[in-house]
């Protein structure tokens, strides 16, 4: 069983873009870029992230989904040894790893396909590819026809009914598990893949690692066709991904409420599936570019973190960055980003997501609980998540002004808002009447609601050179430690990484202390890396 997924917040990275790799693999020098991920560790921990889904990392021609070698890391990212070191550090920090399994198709430079191009019908690999036919040519100029993925002839469809192909792919999966200790796979274009292959993959992968997680990319159709006891554990929840933003754009919470009730309510068709939930990814426009009202981004993410299933953040979107496909190109969706240099960074959103991560971690009902609709209006939505020990109420208002809602609750115990701990509400004969500020939400729990059991050890911080983020959002670079000439007190010397980059000093003890900010304890300065 892959129950660890229910305790997870995913962070989705498209490595070739994130690391600033060239868009085309010129087969030149191997350059280690993938270790950039490690400098983001403090940032990921601040968000409560405990799993990374890496987009394609294996040798390819261009964008990663045109695989050349399933057994080798793309030279634009580094070597197998480089990636193994990154995986080891991530695992040491409690972060699981899910890789992109692109098994429907390969690139034209895949070694077996090059054999077919070179030797024609005499190649022993002709049957490795779907519907290969030497009776006609193809748009790429070869004297034979082959099946491609959705008409993209640079992507050659594999014949997954060929036992040698299956053996080659499963051998690669086994190597990834053994060498990199990966924890799961996201299966690209799962709706195009032979179901029998997924059955073989499940048996093989879970035989290697019993809690291995298999999640399929499915855009349309009945998710139960792919996520079931014989095939995959989960699928991408594109239905809710669309509803999460369009219900806000249309000021119509009935849209997302219908999807959630259809999927997860009493009698819901996906109550057996722990879906992979998201609001944007490497294939679709960034959420901040899709919302007509920028302030709706907070409620959209509040929904993402509180509905059934596992939430996933796409790198950079935690700052509300924008990105739209241009001329059919996905490149604007897959930028190279640098900590401290995020364009138009929304630090309020970053803090909101950090708080949502804490709330999700602390209240099991949000991870394991049932879903029940309480109140649906065009501009307000209330639902509850509940298990055998606690109930959490989520109330949202997408209007620009304060709105009052009234709904039934279980019991007469006071409820407090985990997003605004100073706000407490007392039921009256089983009814709660409360105001929700504009463009805002409340996540209500009983004052005595049990939190998830965890052992928290105070963090011992040491001053390190490098970049830090002040708790109010701006970033600085620590240059060194100086001593006061009279008192010999140790002072941090640091400069701001914005404006005129002025120099500052502050006592080391004060620099490293925690402060109270927006109702929680947080480091005055959070270390970001070198």
- pLDDT score, position 411: 87
pLDDT tens string 427-467: 999 999 999 999 999 999 987 777 776 543 444 567 888 88
**pLDDT at residue number 67:** 98
Percent of the chain with pLDDT over 70: 97
pLDDT of residue 279: 98
Fold match between domain 3-104+160-236+274-362 and domain 367-446: no
H or E, element range at 163: helix 163-180
Could you tell me the sign of the dihedral formed by the alpha carbons of 294, 44, 244, 423, in that order? negative
| d(C-alpha 88, C-alpha 199), whole Å | 29
Other Cβ atoms closer than 10 A to 133: 12
Question: Facing residues of 104 across strands?
Answer: none
Here the tokens at position 310 are 């596992």
Q: Is 468's pLDDT higher than 90?
A: no
**pLDDT given at position 352:** 97
For the cut 90, the answer to whether the pLDDT of residue 509 exceeds it is: no
Return the pLDDT at 457: 40
Bridge partners (DSSP) listed for residue 149: 152
Give the helix/strand (H/E) hosting 133: none
Residues 323/271, Cβ–Cβ less than 8 Å: no
What CATH code is assigned to 3-104+160-236+274-362?
Answer: 3.20.20.80
Q: Give dist(CA 190, CA 155) in Å, integer.
A: 15
Spatial CA neighbour of 94 closest among 4, 26, 33: 4
pLDDT, one tens digit per residue, over 329-363 is: 999 999 999 998 999 999 999 999 999 999 999 99
Question: Which DSSP category does 458 fall into?
Answer: P
242-246 long-range contacts (CB < 8 A, ≥24 apart) are 244/279, 244/300, 244/303, 244/304, 245/279, 245/287, 245/290, 245/291, 245/296, 245/300
In angstroms, the Cα distances linking 326 to 284, 329, 332, 333 are: 11, 5, 7, 9
Q: Which CATH superfamily, name and number, covers 466-529?
A: DUF1653-like domain (2.30.30.320)
pLDDT for the residue 435: 97
Q: Which CATH architecture has domain 367-446?
A: Sandwich (2.60)
Q: What is the pLDDT confidence band of residue 260, given thresholds at 50, 70 and 90? A: very high
Q: Where are the domains of the chain?
A: 3-104+160-236+274-362, 105-159, 367-446, 466-529
Instruction: Please check the confidence at residue 398 and state whether its pLDDT lies above 80.
Output: yes
Q: Could you tell me which of 368, 2, 44 has the C-alpha nearest to residue 185?
A: 2
Topology annotation, domain 105-159: Oligo-1,6-glucosidase; domain 2 (3.90.400)
- Residue with the bigger pLDDT between 459 and 163: it is 163
pLDDT in tens, 178-229: 999 999 999 999 999 999 999 999 999 999 999 999 999 999 999 999 999 9
The string of pLDDT tens digits covering residues 108-138 is: 999 999 999 999 999 999 999 999 999 899 9
pLDDT at residue 406 above 90?
yes
Q: Apex CA 90: angle with CA 89 and CA 93, to 5°? A: 90
pLDDT for the residue 453 = 60
Q: Tell me what the pLDDT averaged over the chain comes to.
A: 94
The pLDDT of residue 464 is 85
- pTM of the full predicted structure? 0.86
pLDDT one-digit tens code per residue, 361-382 = 999 999 999 999 999 999 999 9
Predicted pLDDT at 26: 85
């Amino acid at each position: 069983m892959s129950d660890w997924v229910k305790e997870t917040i995913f962070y989705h990275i498209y490595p070739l873009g994130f690391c600033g790799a060239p868009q085309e693999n010129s087969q030149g020098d191997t350059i280690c870029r993938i270790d950039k991920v490690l400098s983001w560790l403090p940032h990921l921990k601040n968000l409560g992230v405990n799993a990374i889904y890496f987009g394609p990392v294996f040798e390819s021609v261009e964008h990663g989904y045109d695989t050349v070698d399933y057994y080798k890391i793309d030279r634009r990212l580094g070597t197998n040894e480089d990636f193994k070191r990154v995986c080891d550090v991530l695992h040491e920090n409690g972060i699981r790893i899910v890789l992109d399994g692109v098994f429907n198709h390969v690139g034209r430079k895949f070694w077996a396909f090059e054999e077919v191009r070179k030797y024609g019908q005499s190649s022993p690999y002709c049957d490795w590819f779907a519907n290969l036919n030497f009776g006609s040519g193809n748009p790429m100029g070869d004297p034979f026809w082959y099946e491609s993925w959705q008409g993209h002839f640079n992507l050659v469809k594999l014949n997954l009914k060929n036992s040698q192909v299956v053996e080659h792919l499963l051998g690669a999966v086994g190597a990834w598990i053994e060498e990199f200790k990966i924890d799961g796979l996201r299966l690209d274009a799962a709706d195009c893949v032979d179901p029998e292959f997924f059955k073989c993959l499940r048996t093989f992968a879970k035989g290697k690692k019993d809690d291995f997680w298999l999640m399929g990319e499915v855009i349309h159709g009945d998710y139960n066709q792919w996520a079931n006891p014989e095939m995959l554990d989960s699928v991408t929840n594109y239905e809710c991904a669309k509803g999460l933003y369009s219900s806000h754009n249309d000021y119509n919470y009935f849209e997302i409420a219908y999807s959630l009730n259809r999927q997860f309510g009493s009698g819901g068709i996906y109550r057996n599936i722990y879906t992979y939930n998201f609001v944007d990814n490497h294939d679709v426009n960034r959420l901040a570019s899709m919302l007509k009202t920028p302030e709706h981004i907070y409620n959209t993410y509040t929904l993402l973190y509180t509905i059934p299933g596992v939430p996933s953040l796409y790198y950079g979107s935690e700052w509300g960055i924008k990105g739209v496909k241009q001329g059919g190109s996905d490149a604007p969706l897959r930028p190279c980003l640098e900590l401290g240099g995020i364009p138009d960074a929304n630090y309020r959103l970053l803090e909101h997501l950090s708080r949502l991560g804490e709330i999700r971690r602390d209240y099991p009902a949000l991870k394991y609980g049932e879903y029940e609709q309480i109140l649906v209006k065009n501009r307000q939505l209330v639902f509850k998540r509940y298990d055998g020990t606690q109930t959490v109420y989520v109330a949202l208002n997408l209007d620009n002004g304060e709105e009052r809602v009234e709904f039934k609750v279980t019991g007469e115990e006071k409820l407090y808002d985990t997003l605004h701990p100073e706000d407490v509400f007392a039921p009256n004969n089983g009814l709660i009447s409360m105001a929700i500020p504009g463009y805002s939400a409340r996540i209500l729990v009983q004052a005595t609601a049990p939190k998830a059991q965890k052992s928290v050890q105070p963090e011992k911080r040491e001053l390190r050179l490098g970049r830090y983020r002040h708790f109010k959002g701006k970033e600085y670079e620590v240059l060194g430690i100086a001593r006061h000439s009279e008192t010999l007190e140790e002072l941090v010397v640091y400069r701001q990484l914005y404006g005129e980059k002025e120099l500052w000093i502050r006592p080391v003890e004060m620099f490293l202390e925690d402060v109270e900010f927006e109702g929680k304890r947080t480091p005055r300065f959070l270390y970001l890396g070198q």
